[in-house]
Amino acid sequence: MVKEYIEQNRAVMISTLQALLRIESVKGHPVHGGPFGIGPSRALDYVLDLASSYGLTTKNVDGYAGHVEYGEGEEYIAVVSHLDVVPAGDGWTYPPYDAEIHQDKVYARGAIDDKGPAMSTLWSLIALKATGIQPKKKIRLIFGLDEESDWKCMDYYFKHEPKPIAGFTPDASFPLIFAEKGLATLRIDVQADAESMAAQIVSFQGGERLNMVPAHASATVDCHSATAASEFALRIRKLAKDAQIRATVEIADCQVTVTVEGMSAHASRPNSGVNAITQLAQLLGSGTVSNSSMWRTIGAWDTTGKGLGIDSEDDETGPLTANLGMADLSNGAYHFFVNVRFPIRLTVDDLLQNAQSYLSDKWRVTLTEHLPSLYIDPTSPLVSTLMDVYQAYFDEDLEPKSTGGATYARAIPNAVAFGALMPGRPELAHQVDENWAIEDYLTCIEIYAEAMTRLANTL
């Protein structure tokens, strides 16, 4: 019945997806009723209004998050997704907030992470109600607005609402994620060398978000004379060309500004991007500039964490990954923020101690953010039920897996990430030209309707 309902309502399901994706829901300055800015607030209003128009019960929890529910009873099964997105960045083939459809794919920031999957779960619930399917337990869709930053939405929501008995988040890939690495952000501070007679770095900045591989980084260098500036610029241009680094070098009197263009990607998969900050460091560390040894060290940092002395791995979740996501020069010091996804057998205290002991005493390492790891027994009823649903829709005989991503599965008890990226599809979250196949979106509506029903009837 659900499959028939999807076919009959295909057009409106697609048009509402496009409408949600056209809302630029990047976190912004708080507004009345919207602690995370006008964009996330509008996205939540749109979803709740749509659900209400189909007769579902809705609630806006003070603008921090909201929910839509169907069914009766105190206990409930939760599906938790998020409506906020990371900044779009530059270089898109199609405008990132126009939600244009090309080659049967919708192109937009948030298409797969996570507004598209969130919309699929809403239509799943609408379909269950419309077709008269009555779950034994209540099903609640929870929509957060701060997942890409600090998770304050979930902290606030669950101070005011009871937690579910189990659930999933559609914010990863099929078949299922049973383990998530620990997450930590290390802040590394180094005093700027103001006494150096070498060319002086007067400004430096790179990256937009900790959970993105930085696509841009820029530094301005005072070379003390026009002649020295010309020589410095010539050397940097040659170094960039030889190293195949996309760099723009501009001269203004005795100052040279070097801007490096990398390629964004999700911080949990840093190898799929090109880190503009480390590439800029490689250029700066090759010459005689202030803090030159620091730049050489930064330029050698890779995605394994070896350059910080924190590389490790385990059997359950694999190797540690590290992403130098943001950096700047302010108040006489350099600040580097490294987003680390570490194996579940490593503690955050070990991580911090290993980094500090490996680096020079002149480098100060502190912890600014930490999310514990997640592990759900692969033989549990939750995992078994969802894997049965997966196997009913896919021919690929895949096993549950682990990830370096941090999903809302950590926000509720007895939860995993289930979809929405189909097997064999490229991972485009946080990347330029993020898109989602329309047929995958519609298929997820059917899959999630089945998953919600089975969990509500069996757990």
Q: Is 147 a catalytic residue?
A: yes
Please state, in angstroms and as integers, the Cα–Cα distance from residue 267 to each residue in 4, 238, 273, 276, 388, following that order. Answer: 39, 30, 9, 13, 31
DSSP secondary structure code for residue 247 in this structure: E
Distance CA 89, CA 87 (A): 6
Q: In this structure, are residues 183 and 406 in contact, taking their beta carbons and an 8 Å threshold?
A: yes
Q: Is 180 a catalytic residue?
A: no
Distance CA 260, CA 153 (A): 34
Distance of CA 60 to the CA centre of its chain: 24
Please confirm whether the linkage preceding 281 is cis (ω < 30° from 0).
Answer: no
Residue 347: strand, helix, or coil: coil
State the distance between the two ends of the chain, measured CA to CA, in whole angstroms.
23
Query: Within a 10 A sphere around the Cβ of 439, how many other Cβ atoms?
Result: 11
Q: What burial class does residue 291 get, using C-beta atoms within 10 Å of its C-beta: 0-12 exposed, 13-18 middle, 19+ buried?
A: buried
Question: Which residue is catalytic, options 113, 147, 222, 427?
Answer: 147
Query: Within a 10 A sphere around the Cβ of 313, how many other Cβ atoms?
Result: 14
Residues annotated as catalytic are: 84, 147
